[in-house]
Chain A
Amino acid sequence: MSMFAAQRYALGRATAMVRDRPLPFVLGVVLTASALALPLALASIVWSARPALMKVQPAPELSVFVSPRAAARDVEALKGRLGVLPGVTSVVLRPKDEAFAELIKKSGFRAPPAELGANPLPDVLIAQLALPIAPEAIDGMSATVKTWPLVDAVRSDLDWYRKARALGRLTVTAVAVFGGLVALLVALILVGTVRLHAGTRADEVAVLKLVGATRRFIVRPYAYSAALTLLSASALAIGMVYLAHAALRAPIASLTALYGARFSLPDPEPAHLLAVFAGALAVGWLVGVVGARAAISAR
């Protein structure tokens, strides 16, 4: 069997269908593109925000507050013990005298107020942790260090970071779910459209069956047609995203500059564009097959 001839026939019929009904095709493309543009735009914004979020990501730290009773050599011993823990990349000592001097300076005093008496601040050992590290591992390490002698308290200041990460995950999931729902809705509408279209060509389907065409042969032009619709819609949706980026780039740059940050909306990457087009072709083909098969009886 000449597959090339069958594909050529199907492609020819698909383009003829578009040529015969240009307005419904254009309307279908515009509607589908409008529906796809919103999740694509959201996804591109989230993707663009990733580098900025990576920059503000702090290295996870563990702050160990040493007891005031600890002598300098005790602090050094603790520092050494902390440094050999698995996952710890470095340990920095923040001496209490240095911290006290900074506190006084930031408070605007020229000399320490008499009411404070002796330096009340503890020596602090700051352990930098290697990435990636699970929050549970940090919690376990904190609990272990807390049991050591001459350690008053241990704090991991990652709570806000965890919240930010959770918010980020929620955003990505929400965009994915929203995009998935839109894609599903678009696919269902296209299935219905193809089904109706194949229904209007019942005479042609009857002739094809009569002359011995297989179901695959009958369905293939509709698959090409739906793939063409979704491919065109994807291209248009990406064009809309480009336009939205162009319109938003300057206002976003001005806004982020007010906060001392730089944030830009880069255009979609070629790999992403290819993925969108490939996905559109595959989904379009599938939608065409399902829609046409639904319209064609088994015999």
Chain B
Amino acid sequence: MNSPTTPNDLPPLVTFDRVTKRYAGDRVALADASFALNRSEFVLLTGPSGAGKSTVLRLICGLELPSGGQVTVAGEDIARIRRRALPHLRRSLGVVLQNLMLLNDRSVLDNVALPALAAGLSHGIAQERARAALARVGLDADAERVLPTALSGGEQQRVALARAIVNRPALVLADEPTAHVDDQGAAQLLQLLEQFAIAGVTVLMATHGETAPLPSRSRVLHIDEGRVLS
């Protein structure tokens, strides 16, 4: 009789195999980096500003291509993936960038529903999912009708997180999600991300500072001057 498949029996969700990224002027953002992200793992990517953390996230999203080596996400080589397939891959990722990138010309609900609409869901289902995602991050129904600019920094972080999870992604990438919130807000965000990981979502969170308290199930990847050290 076969034993049930656990997340750790599956191949890694993301692999970096000797990945190098050079920008104009031969500036090296990532040098010979190799690591893997397993399913439902909570990984902290730590390092000082400019160490290459954002580059790692941008490479996983396919926003940039590696100069050398191979990045695979869900088995797809990011450099070889067909242009038409890229949006479908991105729908399996939830991304919270440092500057949040909320659209201030539409309501919070419309911001959160956007990935669901882009994935081809009907307006009603997209809104339903957006409401559920907002509730999941602890924002009440009153917040959904306002513009993001009417919310505090912490609430905006939560809106960005709700948008990231609305399509029920396999992987959540968060770039400095605690940068603009107080300690209490940071702890709540970390708790939320940890809950996602417990629910089976792989979480990669980039942070430049000490994040306390660290989630108990987390693994730390330290990056400095483009080199992944642990």
Contact = CB atoms under 8 A, between A and B. Distances in A.
Interface in B76-129: 83-84, 86-91, 93, 95, 97, 101, 103, 105-106, 114-115, 117-123, 126
Contact of B103 (A1, A204, A213): A204
Contact of B163 (A8, A211, A299): A211
Given A9-B123, A213-B118, A299 B86 contact: yes
Contact of A5 (B90, B93, B97, B117): B117
B176 to A, nearest CB: 16
B122 A209 contact: no
A1 B114 contact: no
Given A4-B122, A5-B122, A5-B126, A212 B83 contact: no
A131 interface: no
B83 A20 contact: no
B62 interface: yes
A279 to B, nearest CB: 30
A214 B117 contact: no
B33 to A, nearest CB: 21
Given A212-B87, A212-B90, A214-B84, A207 B119 contact: no
Given A203-B101, A207-B101, A6 B87 contact: no
B167 interface: yes
A212 B115 contact: yes
B63 interface: yes
A4 B126 CA distance: 13
B61 interface: yes
B83 A299 contact: yes
Contacts of A217: 87, 118
A217 B126 CA distance: 15
A66 B115 CA distance: 90
Interface SS, A side = helix
Interface residues of A, number: 24
Contact of B121 (A2, A204, A206, A208): A2
B101 A213 contact: no
Nearest to B88: A212
B145 to A, nearest CB: 16
Contact of A299 (B62, B88, B117): B62
B122 A2 contact: yes
A257 interface: no
A16 B121 CA distance: 21
Contacts, number: 72
A215 B62 CA distance: 15
A90 to B, nearest CB: 69
Nearest to A211: B115
Interface string A280-299: 00000000000000000011
Contacts of A215: 87
B114 A207 contact: yes
Nearest to A207: B101
Contacts of B120: 1-2, 5-6
B123 A211 contact: no
A212 B164 CA distance: 11
Interface string A62-92: 0000000000000000000000000000000
A210 interface: yes
Contacts of B123: 2, 5, 8-9
Given A5-B121, A5-B122, A8-B123, A211 B86 contact: no
Given A1-B120, A9-B117, A217-B118, A210 B101 contact: yes
Nearest to A217: B118
B103 A203 contact: yes
B105 A20 contact: yes
Nearest to A298: B83
Contacts of B95: 210-211
B105 A16 contact: yes
B117 A212 contact: no
Given A298-B83, A299-B63, A211 B118 contact: yes
A208 B118 contact: yes
B136 to A, nearest CB: 17
Given A207-B103, A299-B62, A299-B63, A213 B122 contact: no
Interface of A: 1-2, 4-6, 8-9, 16, 20, 203-204, 206-215, 217, 298-299
Given A20-B105, A209-B63, A212-B93, 19 more contacts: A2-B121, A4-B122, A5-B123, A5-B126, A6-B117, A6-B120, A16-B105, A16-B106, A203-B103, A207-B101, A207-B103, A211-B115, A211-B163, A212-B87, A212-B89, A212-B167, A213-B114, A298-B83, A299-B86
12 contacts: A1-B120, A4-B122, A6-B120, A20-B105, A203-B101, A204-B105, A208-B118, A209-B90, A211-B90, A211-B114, A211-B163, A213-B114
